[in-house]
Amino acid sequence: MNIGVNPPELLSTFFPGEDPCPGTVPGEEETTLWSAAGHGEARWFALPDDPNWGRWSALVFADEVPFSQYDRLQEFLRQGRRLPDRAACIALTGRNFHGQRNRPWAARRGNLHLTVHFAPWRPATEIGLGFTLLPAVACIRAIRSLSGGAVAAGIKWVNDIVAGEKKVGGFLAATQTQGGIVQDVVLGLGINIDVAPDVEPTPFVPAVGCLREIYPSFRLAKLLPNLLRELNGLYELLLTDGFLPLVEAYREYAVIVGRSVRIWQDAADSSAEELRTIPPLRRGVVTAIGDDLSLILADSQAPVIRGRLAYEEDCRRYGL
């Protein structure tokens, strides 16, 4: 795999003891990848495929970026620029990162900020919601395996990664489809490892944490290869077996079945003051998750397809 880094010292942080081939000349797609996701002048190296990392064509490591790598990769793709399949971009810190609906995401050094590009070129009917499921399942498996099961991470619908009652991460997924063919996919993943950013509590996210609070030996350099290996393996599973195996894994790791919840529209303001003026779309006990990730609520025939979810007890805590 080709690795672009700035500064070059980052290579030894993630590949200690390796003897990479320096001065590798990147191809056109790798050069485009660095233009989209890197910052400053890249140094390129080559390393053989490592099963501990999975099979990746290109990795980009940047110390700091003044933009969202997730947004930039999509921008380049909309311009018709080609990016390598199985490419991953890591920023140690940066500015203008965000979550769903451009909600701010604080990038703190020591945490994981990862953007991935896949080029599956497969019918959307085969893939379904696979690229929403894939990062969720990969995050949970990487966290659980690295901690030996000590961190029982789970998924709070739709895309929050939680440990206990605290949010420790989240992910975004964007696909570009033409003629029913999924051509490009960009995933953005953020996990709090060293630092829990200061975030105003809301009924949707009442508490934010980091993995080292629970398992002190967690480090970015340890979690990253585990996560990339899981992402690569699940990508191959999606291409060969379709999305239904990922649905089953998502259900296994979901933490909302059996919980009483309220669901507001996606665009709902997070503050309790605002939510007091907006009735929830639905409320009830979650009994199941559909193949399309819809929620089945007790005593309700219509599934919930989208929205923002808060637990009933958190709503009451905020006087809702």
Low-confidence ranges of the chain (pLDDT < 50): none
Domains of the chain (ranges, CATH numbers):
2-253 (3.30.930.10), 260-317 (no CATH)
Eight-state DSSP code of residue 80:
T
Q: Helix 220-241 to helix 130-146 angle, to the nearest 10 degrees?
A: 140
Buried b (16+ CB within 10 A) or exposed e, 266-300: eebebebeebeeeebebbbbbeebeeebebbbeee
- The model's pTM is 0.96
Q: Tokens 């099963």 label which residue?
A: 51
What are the tens digits of pLDDT across the range 264-309? 998 766 788 889 889 999 999 999 999 999 999 998 879 999 999 9
CB 73 within 8 A of CB 36: yes
The per-residue DSSP string of 209-252 comes to --GGGT-TT--HHHHHHHHHHHHHHHHHHHHHH-SHHHHHHHHH
**What is the model's pLDDT at position 269?**
67
**What is the model's pLDDT at position 158?**
94
What are the tens digits of pLDDT across the range 62-101? 999 999 999 999 999 999 999 999 999 999 999 999 988 7
**What is the model's pLDDT at position 103?**
81
- Beta pairing, strands 58-65 & 2-6: parallel
**What is the model's pLDDT at position 162?**
98
- Beta pairing, strands 122-123 & 153-156: unpaired
**What is the model's pLDDT at position 235?**
98
**What is the model's pLDDT at position 25?**
82
